[in-house]
């Protein structure tokens, strides 16, 4: 169902890989709500995924960009404004990768060059995106920048590994950059802390199936899906949330405020 929430708005969506990804669902919803978008992903991710299908479906252009490269980001922003015919109203940062996780390195046995690469891709890239947008004065007033995160930034999930540190850093950037973007440009910056979601990235985490089942049993409303996350993101891109900024917004069926659920207790009662 469309509410025309983004009629006439323009934006960039980072990180759509395939139809399971939150960025993919967000691009579809933004299109349905009347927005014009540019899609972007790293060249390697584009080869792995199906971003061309999404571009066709949403009438969007694709600009490849490595989000860790300032040069690529500056080019992306400049070209996007040309294609879309003006400044941007929203940006979604939906990028995360841990080389340590991929290579099976335990948190207590990190390869630090892997750690730095993961931090650059997953966290520092958000600062680079914000800084490039800020310096280019590329955002319209009351625009909205959103990054996706996970509650491992606040609480320990043993197998989430160094991604937990990356997400904590990402959330801090949203607060710090959100201050300057708000003061100087009237732009808001927020993070959405989403339920564990069966995306390509999510499924890379060890023990993911148990993880997602546990979260579902713990959450009074159950886990939030990728499509529901896209819906929530529409509200943050829209003019209905103009004064929401520098927040980490939990979108997790109530998991983050639940101590324990009856379903979980039942599993442990003799």
Q: Where are the domains of the chain?
A: 10-268
Architecture of domain 10-268: 3-Layer(aba) Sandwich (3.40)
CB environment 99-124: b (16+ within 10 A), e (fewer): bbbeeebebeebeeebbebbbebbbb
Question: pLDDT at position 47, please?
Answer: 84
Q: pLDDT per residue over 17-63, tens digit each?
A: 999 999 999 999 999 999 999 999 999 888 887 999 999 999 999 99
Q: pLDDT per residue over 72-127, tens digit each?
A: 999 999 999 999 999 999 999 999 999 999 999 999 999 999 999 999 999 999 99
* 160 given a catalytic annotation: yes
* 179 given a catalytic annotation: no
Question: pLDDT at position 206, please?
Answer: 78
Contact between 41 and 17 under an 8 Å Cβ cutoff? The reply is yes
167 labelled binding-site residue: yes
12 labelled binding-site residue: no
83 labelled binding-site residue: no
Angle between helices 112-119 and 163-185 (to 10 degrees): 30
Contact between 26 and 192 under an 8 Å Cβ cutoff? The reply is no
| Catalytic-role residue among 160, 169, 179, 214 | 160
**Nearest by Cα to 116 from 128, 98, 131:** 98
**In this model, does residue 235 exceed pLDDT 90?**
yes
Q: Which pair of structure tokens corresponds to residue 208?
A: 């993911």
Q: Which pair of structure tokens corresponds to residue 65?
A: 């960009």
Q: How far apart are CA 36 and CA 49, in angstroms?
A: 21
How many C-alpha atoms does 168 have within 13 Å on its Cβ side?
11
| Catalytic-role residue among 3, 150, 214, 232 | 150
62 labelled binding-site residue: no
**In this model, does residue 163 exceed pLDDT 90?**
yes
Question: pLDDT at position 49, please?
Answer: 79
Q: How far is CA 106 from the centre of its chain?
A: 25
Contact between 102 and 204 under an 8 Å Cβ cutoff? The reply is yes
Pairing of the two strands 10-14 and 88-93:
parallel
**Nearest by Cα to 149 from 160, 134, 138, 133:** 160
CA distances from 42 to 16, 35, 69, 73 (A): 10, 23, 10, 11
Q: Which pair of structure tokens corresponds to residue 161?
A: 């590994």
Q: Which pTM does this prediction carry?
A: 0.97
118 labelled binding-site residue: no
Instruction: Average the pLDDT over 156-179 and give the result.
Output: 97
Q: How far apart are CA 242 and CA 2, in angstroms?
A: 20
């Amino acid at each position: 169902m469309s509410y025309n929430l983004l009629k006439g708005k323009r934006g960039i969506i980072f990180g759509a890989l395939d139809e399971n990804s939150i960025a993919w669902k967000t691009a579809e919803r933004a299109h349905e709500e009347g927005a014009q978008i540019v899609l972007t992903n790293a060249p390697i991710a584009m080869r792995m995924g199906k971003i061309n299908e999404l571009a066709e479906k949403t009438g969007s252009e694709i600009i490849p960009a490595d989000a860790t490269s300032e040069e690529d980001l500056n080019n992306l922003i400049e070209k996007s404004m040309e294609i879309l015919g003006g400044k941007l109203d929203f940006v979604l940062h939906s990028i995360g990768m841990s080389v340590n996780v991929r290579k099976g390195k335990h948190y207590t046995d990190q390869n630090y060059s892997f750690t730095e690469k993961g931090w650059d891709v997953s966290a520092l890239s958000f600062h680079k995106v914000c800084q490039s947008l800020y310096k280019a004065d590329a955002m319209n007033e009351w625009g909205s920048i959103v990054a996706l995160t996970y509650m491992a930034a606040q609480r320990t999930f043993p197998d989430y590994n160094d991604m937990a540190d990356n997400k904590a850093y990402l959330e801090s950037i949203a607060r710090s950059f959100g201050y300057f973007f708000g003061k100087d440009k009237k732009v808001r910056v927020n993070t959405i802390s989403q339920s564990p979601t069966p995306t390509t990235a999510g499924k890379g985490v060890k023990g993911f199936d148990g993880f997602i089942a546990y979260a579902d049993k713990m959450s009074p409303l159950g886990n939030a899906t990728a499509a529901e996350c896209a819906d929530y993101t529409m509200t943050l891109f829209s003019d209905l949330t103009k004064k929401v900024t520098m927040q980490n917004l939990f979108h997790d069926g109530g998991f983050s405020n639940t101590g324990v659920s009856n379903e979980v207790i039942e599993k442990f009662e003799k």
